Amino acid sequence: MTAGAWLTETRAAPVRAQQWWVLTTRLVTPAIKSGEVLSSVVAPAAFTASFYIPLKTVMTVIGTGFSSYAQFMMPIVILQACAFTAIGAAFRSATDAVAGIDRRFGSMPIGPLVPVGARMSGNVFRLCIAISAGLVCGHIIGFRFVLDGWHTLGFLAFSLLIGIVFTLGADVIGTLTKSPEATTQALVLPPLILGMLSTGLAPAEQFPSWIQPFVRNQPVSQFVIALRALAGDTKGNAGEVSWALMTPPLLWAAAILVVCVPTAIRLSSRRA
């Protein structure tokens, strides 16, 4: 084997793990230095204050069946933290697409799934910060885990799963649209609408009867139901964690992944 052939063969076998790490730090390090990660803290805090303060008295009078409105509201705080992170994920993927970074990666000996894997790693980093901030906000207003440690771990794991589902879907949308501004604007409304038309802020019985089936069965409400059961409540009205209760939210998460994972793989494979 000649020296030129040896060099060509060596360059064709890059270390995928090292590539992933370099591309991940490309997203994480600047966010830390610039203070961008503070948005992952501010967003859950702003959402909690904006809805808990004006609704607490009203919902306490109406009644939610829970020991406190903070216990009732906590899941939607986590979901909104995930949604805010997903909007940022869509912006970053759209920026990479429109700036030609994806095309540049396609001309380099980088594994086709490495860029999207690095973006998702950065998204998980932001998710962990956002979920932690949401839990701190919930603790301040009175939320508590009342079940054992396994249920608490289940709450955290399911919260992270929801965040990964949201951010992966947003990443795919951003890559497809290739317009950071349009993508961000388009993704603001769905979480807001589905959040308001869910059982996250009020029981389904408080909605008109004609829309209650949608309110109960849409994915945000199903995610809320699962998180409430995992968190528990001193009055015992949060529901019992069982396959019957957990199957619908898990199916919603699986359905989104079934659509987004193959699409992400296909988009990544077409970079070259």
pLDDT in tens, 76-111: 999 999 999 999 999 988 888 787 776 777 667 777
**pLDDT tens digits for the chain (272 residues)?**
555 554 445 454 567 788 888 888 888 888 888 777 888 899 999 999 999 999 998 888 888 889 899 999 999 999 999 999 999 999 988 888 787 776 777 667 777 788 888 899 999 999 999 999 999 999 999 999 999 999 999 999 999 999 999 999 999 998 888 888 888 888 888 888 999 999 999 999 999 999 999 999 999 999 999 999 999 999 988 889 999 999 999 999 999 999 999 998 888 776 54
Distance CA 130, CA 251 (A): 24
**19 neighbors 113 (Cβ within 8 angstroms):** no
Q: At which residue do the structure tokens 């699409």 appear?
A: 263
Backbone angles phi, psi at 153, to 5 degrees: -65, -40
Residue 188: what pLDDT?
85
Tokens representing 183 are 């993508």
**21 neighbors 114 (Cβ within 8 angstroms):** no
Half-sphere exposure of 127 (CA within 13 A, CB side): 25
Distance CA 61, CA 181 (A): 41
Q: Residue 63 region, left (φ>0) first, then alpha (ψ -120 to 50), else beta?
A: left
Q: What is the DSSP string of 163-209?
A: HHHHHHHHHHHHHHH--HHHHHHHHHHHHHHHHHTSTTTS-GGGS-T
> How crowded is residue 108: how many other Cβ atoms within 10 Å of its Cβ?
12
Q: How many separate helices (H) and strands (E) can be counted in the chain?
A: 11, 0
